[in-house]
């Protein structure tokens, strides 16, 4: 009988496990594509996309990022621009160049993107169901809050029916998650180790 090999990823957080998978799936230098998903695609997912696009322009990520987009699990706001409060929050943090028309997720998104990030558990459940219908999909579906930087995943609560503080909190979370993802996954793409 052969000895049982220990599962080296068992003690890792979900984000760390995703980074291991990322290194296994992508060839060095291959761009990483990401899709952000919430319910209506006018608040959280658009904010996450705007922040991620802005951060991905940094020189160390050049040629490491492929497609970046966002969508909703529902078509309530299809064709509409982001919520004004989302745009105002982005602008308050010097992100002025963001433009988007809301859309609903499609089957082809599961083949187009490497990562599909849900903003909350309801979005995640919807995405996992859709992925099961598209079994050969390359996308890794996960909660964006798995990149919280803590041992505990976080959800990005929908600020649509609340005040500005909900948009500010969503901005803080999405910024932190983007930094962690870029550092942990994208930052390692194509880097050669020197001794």
Reported as type and span, the H/E element at residue 109 is helix 109-112
Query: Which residue's structure tokens are 């940094």?
Result: 58
Q: Which of 44, 85, 114, 174 is catalytic?
A: 44
Tell me the helix, strand and coil percentages in the chain, rounded to 5: 40, 10, 45
Is 104 labeled as catalytic in the residue annotation? Answer: no
Whether 113 contacts 52, CB under 8 Å: no
Is 158 labeled as catalytic in the residue annotation? Answer: yes
Q: Which of 109, 146, 158, 184 is catalytic?
A: 158
Query: 44: which residues sit within 8 A by CB, 6+ positions away?
Result: 36, 38, 119, 156, 158, 159, 170, 174
Is 44 labeled as catalytic in the residue annotation? Answer: yes
Whether 50 contacts 85, CB under 8 Å: no
Q: Which of 38, 43, 71, 174 is catalytic?
A: 38
The catalytic residue positions are 38, 44, 158
């Amino acid at each position: 009988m052969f000895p049982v090999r220990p599962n080296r990823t068992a003690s890792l957080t979900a984000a760390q496990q995703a980074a291991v998978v990322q290194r296994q799936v992508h060839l060095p230098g291959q761009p990483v594509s990401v899709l952000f998903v919430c319910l209506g695609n006018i608040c959280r997912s658009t904010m996450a996309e705007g922040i991620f696009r802005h951060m991905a322009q940094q020189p160390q990520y050049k040629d490491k990022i492929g497609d970046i987009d966002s969508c909703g699990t529902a078509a309530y706001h299809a064709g509409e621009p982001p919520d004004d409060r989302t745009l105002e929050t982005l602008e308050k943090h010097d992100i002025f160049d963001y433009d988007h028309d809301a859309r609903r997720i499609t089957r082809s998104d599961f083949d187009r993107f490497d990562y599909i990030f849900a903003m909350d558990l309801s979005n995640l459940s919807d995405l996992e169901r859709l992925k099961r219908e598209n079994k050969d999909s390359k996308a890794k579906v996960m909660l964006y809050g798995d990149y919280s930087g803590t041992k505990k995943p976080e959800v990005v609560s929908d600020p649509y029916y609340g005040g500005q503080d909900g948009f500010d909190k969503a901005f803080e979370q999405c910024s932190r998650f983007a930094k962690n993802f870029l550092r942990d996954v994208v930052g390692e793409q194509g880097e050669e180790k020197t001794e």
